[in-house]
Amino acid sequence: MNILHTSIVDRLLRAVDRVVAPPTAFAHCDLPCGVYDPSQARVEAQSVKAIQERYQGADKMKSATETVDDYRARCLSIKEERANLVKEHLWVLWTDYFKPEHKEKYPQLHDLFWSATKEAGLAKKSQDPAQGQKLLDSIDEIANIFWETKKG
């Protein structure tokens, strides 16, 4: 079974775990409440990519009540916000969830977050869905590590 399949199976089993056993709560405020979930960043990044796709197909996606230019201006300002939310959720995960012992086990941790948040910054300047996909991929890489630390 190749790596891709292994990863799919891993994620499948993880999904099964999350469904069968009631999810234990983790943390995303500094109480801390212990609830963290990389899906928060992912949802916003999906939105970023979807906006980039809509920007490309603006003439088909826009409402009858707005011009292509208006629609694209809205794409840009909404994407700006969504990309900010991606950064925000990632930063919280990096500072608040991950601990020195994780850093030791995953020495790439800092660089992963640095490049993922930089990619989110680039998303503001790019209307190319391939860029949005890169952002999603970098979040998935972080999510994989996150879920591995949860299994431990």
* Binding region for a copy of itself (CB under 8 A): 8, 11-12, 15-16, 18-20, 23, 25-31, 33-35, 37, 39-40, 43, 46-47, 49-51, 53-54, 62-63, 65-66, 69-78, 80-83, 87, 91, 94-96, 103, 110-111, 114, 117-118, 121-122, 124-128, 131
**Residue 19 identity (one-letter amino acid):** V
Q: What residues have CB less than 8 Å from 119, skipping those under 6 apart?
A: 131, 134, 135, 138
> Which is nearer to a copy of itself, 35 or 152 (by Cβ)?
35
Given the complex with a copy of itself, which of 15 and 101 has the nearer CB atom? 15
Find how far residue 33's CA is from the centre of its chain. Answer: 21
Cβ nearer to a copy of itself, comparing 88 with 152: 88
Q: Distance (Å, rounded) from C-alpha 65 to C-alpha 47? A: 22
Q: Residue 10 CB, nearest distance to a copy of itself (Å)?
A: 9
| 71/145 with CB nearer a copy of itself | 71
- CA–CA separation, 49 and 33 (whole Å): 30
Tokens of 50: 């979807």
